[in-house]
């Protein structure tokens, strides 16, 4: 048995799904899918359709004060005021890049901090959201991994990033796409990811088409299949290496699900009705002298051809948490040329938000990362920081 199989931290349920709760705490409406909210109202002796009303208030009108929800009965409004809440995340800081990218640092209720990034690409406005505080997967090149296992974000914390980012946009603009490519591993936070996807695609909620949502994973095979059975979302797979020996070294998850298992899973995933004709994006972070040789490119072509895929090359973003280097521009161009000449679909990801450290693997890279690791006590006010 490999060391990784013994590491229970890596199993999806090992991390707690809950923010530390306080007895008598109000229920957060942002944690509910519409179905769950219907159940909630039925349990309160009210009608299921209240859920539709609440959903509209929250996700269409951005109203978070129950007293303004005029189509609810007075009694229900009073009940909700006492027992429920619609949370929002504190915005610690917003950084705007010259290229239009916006990095937002949010503070969660327990004091931990996560980042989200809004990236304008043509007519699209893509939000990159975080799934966990820290990450247990331990990819050697990733900055978030240096924070340790941390915890899963709740559905409310996922939705809080979406609503919080949306509020910071100029009038008339709205988020059109979401990528789950921020801090942490979305498929470790699986149940909350499903709940969040349910809300995001709800016709009475933000109503984002599932094909506008991309979940990026380091390769948790059982969850990849379950995801495909549940939602027609796009999948991005963080590949980063083309042999087991290489991938074992930089991505410990490979010791649990090796390349053969991974690509068998992807082939089965692509047979699911939800994935008809959709390609999987193979993300490949180019790291100097680790995975950037012409032989790597050739093996990558072979792997890419074994499924419907497109390759997204990400030049490595250096950070103090790992010894790796970005290859020279020449080496990157050469690698891309080999891929493109073979006829596989490959692009280089344009690094966005470079000036504000919002690029892949750089989230929580500045001084704020330290605070992310040491949550403040609940009763400490932000101003005392």
Q: Which residues are catalytic?
A: 115, 360
**Which positions from 223 to 242 touch ligand SAH by CB under 6 A, shown as an x/- string?**
---------------x-x--
CB 128 within 8 A of CB 134: no
Subset of residues 171 to 200 that bind ligand SAH, contact rule: CB under 6 A: 181, 185
The answer to whether 218 contacts ligand SAH (rule: CB under 6 A) is yes
Cα angle: 146, vertex 149, 154; to 5 degrees: 125
Out of 313, 314, 338, 339, name the contact with ligand SAH by CB under 6 A.
314
Q: What is the DSSP string of 202-218?
A: -TTTT---GGGEEEEES
Subset of residues 324 to 363 that bind ligand SAH, contact rule: CB under 6 A: 360-361
The answer to whether 285 contacts ligand SAH (rule: CB under 6 A) is yes
Distance from C-alpha of 162 to C-alpha of 166, rounded to nearest angstrom: 6
The answer to whether 115 contacts ligand SAH (rule: CB under 6 A) is no
Q: Is 168 helix (H, G, I), strand (E, B) or coil?
A: coil
Out of 51, 104, 108, 142, name the contact with ligand SAH by CB under 6 A.
142
Q: Is 181 helix (H, G, I), strand (E, B) or coil?
A: coil
CB of 287 to ligand SAH, least distance (A): 8
- In terms of C-beta distances under 8 Å and separation of at least 24 residues, what long-range contacts does 232-236 make, across chains too? 232/274, 232/275, 232/278, 233/197, 233/274, 234/278, 234/280, 234/281, 235/269, 235/275, 235/278, 235/280, 235/281, 236/179, 236/181, 236/280, 236/281, 236/282, 236/283, 236/312
The answer to whether 365 contacts ligand SAH (rule: CB under 6 A) is no
Distance from C-alpha of 43 to C-alpha of 39, rounded to nearest angstrom: 6
Q: Which stretch binds ligand SAH (CB under 6 A): 17-25, 146-154, 312-320, 328-336?
A: 312-320
Out of 141, 162, 263, 335, name the contact with ligand SAH by CB under 6 A.
141
Q: Which stretch binds ligand SAH (CB under 6 A): 39-47, 77-85, 211-219, 223-231?
A: 211-219
Residues at the contact surface with ligand SAH, assessed by CB under 6 A: 139, 141-143, 181, 185, 216-218, 238, 240, 283, 285, 314, 316-317, 319, 360-361
């Amino acid at each position: 048995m490999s060391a990784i199989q013994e590491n229970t931290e890596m199993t999806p349920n090992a991390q707690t799904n809950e923010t530390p709760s306080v007895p008598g705490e109000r229920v957060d409406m942002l944690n509910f899918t519409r179905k769950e909210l219907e159940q909630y109202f039925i349990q309160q002796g009210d009608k299921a359709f209240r859920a539709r009303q609440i959903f509209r208030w929250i996700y269409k009108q951005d109203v978070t004060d129950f007293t303004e929800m005029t189509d609810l009965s007075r009694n229900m409004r009073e009940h909700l005021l006492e027992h429920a809440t619609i949370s929002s995340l504190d915005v610690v800081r917003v950084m705007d890049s010259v290229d239009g990218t916006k990095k937002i640092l949010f503070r969660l209720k327990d004091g931990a901090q996560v980042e989200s990034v809004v990236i304008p690409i043509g007519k699209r406005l893509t939000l990159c959201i975080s799934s966990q505080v820290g990450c247990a997967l331990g990819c050697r090149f990733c900055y978030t991994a240096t924070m340790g296992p941390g915890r899963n974000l709740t559905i409310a914390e996922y939705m809080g990033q979406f609503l919080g980012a949306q509020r910071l946009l100029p009038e008339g603009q709205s988020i059109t796409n979401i990528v789950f490519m921020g801090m942490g591993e979305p498929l470790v936070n699986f149940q909350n990811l499903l709940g969040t996807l349910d809300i995001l695609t709800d016709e009475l909620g933000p109503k984002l088409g599932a094909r506008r949502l991309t979940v990026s994973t380091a390769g948790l095979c059982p969850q990849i299949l379950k995801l495909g059975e549940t939602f027609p979302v796009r999948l991005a797979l963080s590949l980063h290496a083309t042999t087991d020996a290489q991938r074992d070294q930089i991505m410990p998850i490979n010791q649990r699900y090796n390349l053969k298992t991974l690509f068998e899973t992807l082939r089965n995933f692509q047979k699911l009705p939800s994935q008809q004709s959709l390609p999987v994006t193979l993300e490949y972070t180019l790291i100097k002298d680790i995975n950037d040789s012409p032989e790597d490119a050739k093996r990558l072509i072979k792997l890419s051809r074994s499924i419907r895929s497109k390759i997204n090359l990400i030049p490595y973003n250096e950070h103090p948490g790992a010894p790796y280097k970005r290859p020279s521009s020449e080496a990157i161009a050469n690698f891309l040329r080999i891929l493109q000449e073979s006829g596989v679909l490959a692009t280089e990801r344009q690094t966005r938000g470079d000036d504000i450290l919002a690029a892949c693997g750089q989230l929580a890279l500045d001084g704020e990362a330290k605070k992310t690791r040491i949550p403040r006590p609940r009763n400490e006010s932000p101003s005392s920081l």
